[in-house]
Structure 1
Amino acid sequence: MKFALKLTVAALVAATGTGAFAQKGETVKIAWLDPLSGLMAAVGTNQLKTFQFFAEKFNIKNAAGVKFEVIGIDNKLSPQETTAALRSAMDQGARYVVQGNGSGPALAIIDALEKHNARNPGKEVLYLNYAAVDPDLTNSKCSYWQYRFDADTSMKMEALTTYMKEQQDIKKVYLINQNYSHGQQVSKFAKENLKTKRPDVQIVGDDLHPLAQVRDFAPYIAKIKQSGADTVITGNWGSDLALLIKAGNDAGLNVKWFTYYAVTTGTPTAMGAASDGKVYQVAYGHYNMGGEMQKYADEFKKRFNDDMYTLDIYTVYQALSEAFAKAKTTEPVKVAATLEGMKFKSFNGDVELRKADHQLQQGLYITRWEKASAKYPYSPENTGYTLAPVKFYDAYVASTPTSCQMKRP
């Protein structure tokens, strides 16, 4: 009897131990669906490299002992192509997909996974959104199968206008944005927030232009000049921001630029010395984070002759590996449930995946383009300049309420 009891206890201990590391050594396929062609190819290529880079790092050591494999698929920045890319990813065995460039493709993924996961129990797929920031994605269009790791458009505007509130030299603001959901929301929230925080500020222009199609922004710059604006707010990214700022500098436009994505490929070069002290960015991180992230950024630049700027890719891997360890499985249904409300420390401090809408709550930085220094030495695209932090806002400052009515399986 004692021998049988010992065997039972031993078996229980072994089972518990096995359960705790049930996923150890398992390969987790992550499908990356973003542009590798067209005007935004440079941004997509950089982000795919970043996902592959951090897969290497987390494969050396992560909380769950899993191995990550990244499958890169070009979605051509198109919702239709994204749906096809998602099918291809699932055919290749991916149970996790990541995407960030464009809220149209993001919504296509959400719609497709809502249908797929309902029809295919046991084969669910989870979407980790690292950069598509339309607030509707975690409000009216929220989904149990999506987690967002970037701060949304409204959160960033909350931080940006909190900073702008104190800048008394801002009198006339011009809005110029890409004509899709994110750009439209930048315009909307800028007007709403400034009306509340700085009712004295005039909105002297509000332009929307086609996404990733404009090659000459000179006509837009002429309108900004004519308006008498002292400040421009733009959510543009990639070539749409690089070409916009270059056109402004070429025309001698003397304004402050308040941006979301001054880090994306080509923009630092476009800014150069002419934008010294004039360009601001709101983001969850910056070039000079210090610590382990700085070592990663330096290694990335040395290996790829490129700058690491989508830092929340690290947070995606961190959240996944910790959730795998806690759930004792890599099954998306159980992992999704584990991620809900999960709190952990990332490279930018304490963060939380809010249960109500799956929106990461995190602090935000305001940075300014200026000469690199001993304190902030990192120089993107070897410009001799950097985005230096001028203000940090804790998560509660930028947090915005959600209207999400989450439907859980």
Structure 2
Amino acid sequence: MGDHEKSKTGMVARGFSRRSILKGTAAGAAAVAAGPALFNIARAAEETIRIGFPVPLTGPYGSEAQEQARCAQIAVDQFNAAGGLNGRMAELLVRDDKLKPGEAATRTLELIEKDKVHYVCGSLSASVQLSVNAVTKARGIIYVSISQSDAINEAQDFSKYTFHEAMNPHMTAGAVGRYAFPKLGKRVAFLIADYAYGHEMVRGFKRAGEPHGIEVVAEVTHPLASKDFSTFLPQIMAAKPDVLCLCNFGYDQMNSLKQATGFGMKQQMQVLAPALLYNQRRAGGAAAYEGVIGGANYHWTLEESVPSAKAFNDVYRKKNDGAPPSDYGAYGYAGVGALLDGVKQAGTTDTDAVIAALEELKYDKYKGTQYYRKCDHQSVQSVFIVKSKSEAEMANEYDVFEIVDTDPASEDMLRSCAELGHA
């Protein structure tokens, strides 16, 4: 993907660097023949710590995926600049999974068998990450997922090799619901992307709403990557909800919000978007998103109070013409960064040693302290409740959200280990 290629949102997708490495018996033999110095270079290259990174660079989630790759590369660059693992450098091998489970499985298998990666991080879909996880756990490869999913932590899909850096729908929808339902009304409607992510978000909202006595007045599903919501939105308007929960993502979120705004729905009900996306807000414009409340793992204005956020923002800005990083980009940074912290703490790339190190790791990459819960390897972290600003409220083009509340990092916001099927 070229440095000036644009995503469908019109935002520039800057390239991310990749270093080629010497490998294979032919290269090794040539290096030996050329003398000890070249042989040592070849050995060092063969010892590169390789991290596979399958994400949907093309397709409806391309903007977020490109951000994840850029930020993951920053984590690799920082690891290498600090000397790597006793001189062993890391390399990020980015692959396009095209947002398709089969494609993701194929690319992941190639990364493991052909590219000989030590670890895998990435994916950006509930179903795609389960496909990647199935491949990695069958081959004993650590996988750090950076996309929301409830199922990946459940005993049926989980293995000791599975780590989940992203928030999950139970955390995200739960935090937004606990904030919104007591304030905004009990009649609730759902617009649902008809795949795992959408339905898991609905479940999270319903559980959060039970103590507040919410009444579900409509549940309307739509296909992934829908462009026309005119057949779905009138059903919701007819139900007259106090609150509309948009349980969708990426372009689906942006398109449904634009059309809901055009229908005047925001004058009739409060709109919630559990994962309220920075990139899509910037692409969709202030008018479509104004007043929408949602959850976020990150917003760059955290730099005002969190030192690690400022450090992350500063390095990103230097590489990206002064622009701050996005929420989903931060997942790429933390997913790879925490993995490499675990490698460094273990002092080896040995899989079991790195797993043990990650289970004990306390890390602060961009938002405050996080850690992986031992039973299911879910990253325990804060959830931020954000509200989208009007154009008049924005200090600059990047100032799109106001953080209105925070759910602090706590295992209390997670489903219990027993509920997930862990002994």
Instruction: Compute the TM-score of the two structures, normalised by the length of structure 2.
Output: 0.79
Who is 2:298 aligned against? 285
Of all paired residues, the percent bearing the same amino acid is 19
Q: Deviations over 1:88-147 (max 9, x none)?
A: 111112121112311212111222223223xxxxxxx2101111x221211232111110
Separation in 1 of the partners of 2:227 and 2:324?
23
Distance 1:392 1:373 in 2: 24
* Deviation for aligned residue 1:361: 0.5
Query: Unmatched 5+ residue regions in structure 1?
Result: 1-22, 118-124
1:89 to 2:102 alignment: no
Q: Select the residue among 107, 116, 125 that pairs with 1:102.
A: 125
Q: Which moved more, 1:136-145 or 1:260-269?
A: 260-269
Which of 204, 223, 241 is residue 210 of structure 1 equivalent to? 223
Shift in CA distance, 45/326, structure 1 to aligned 2, threshold 3 Å: closer
Read off the aligned partner of 1:229 and give its amino acid letter.
Answer: P
Q: Would the aligned equivalents of 1:287 and 1:378 in 2 still touch at CA under 8 Å?
A: no
8 Å CA contact retained: 1:287, 1:387: no
Gaps of 5+ in 2: 1-43, 304-309
Scaled by the length of structure 1, the TM-score of the pair is 0.81
Could you say if the C-alpha distance between residues 86 and 63 of structure 1 is closer, same or farther in structure 2, counting changes exceeding 3 Å? Answer: closer
Match of 1:61 among 44, 65, 82: 82
What is the one-letter code of the residue matched to 1:281? G
Q: Equivalent of 2:332, from 306, 310, 313?
A: 313
Aligned residues: 366
**Aligned AA (2:104):** T
How far is the alpha carbon of 1:307 from its aligned partner? 4.8
Deviations 1:157-188 (A, max 9, x none): 22112212431x32322111211112111112
| Aligned match of 2:208 | 193
Instruction: Return 38-47 or 28-37, whichever deviates more.
Output: 38-47
The within-5 A match list for 1:7-406 is 27-61=48-82, 64=85, 66-90=88-112, 91-117=114-140, 125-131=141-147, 133-140=148-155, 141-167=157-183, 169-196=184-211, 198-199=212-213, 201-212=214-225, 214-254=226-266, 255-263=269-277, 265-276=279-290, 278-290=291-303, 291-302=310-321, 307-310=325-328, 311-371=330-390, 377=395, 379-380=397-398, 385-396=399-410, 397-403=412-418, 404=420
C-alpha distance in structure 2 between counterparts of 1:377 and 1:406, whole Å: 47
CA distance 1:378–1:31, shift in 2 (3 Å): farther
Alpha-carbon RMSD? 2.7
CA distance change for structure 1 residues 274 and 83 in 2, over 3 Å: closer, same or farther? closer
Distance verdict in 2 for CA 1:63–1:322, change over 3 Å? farther
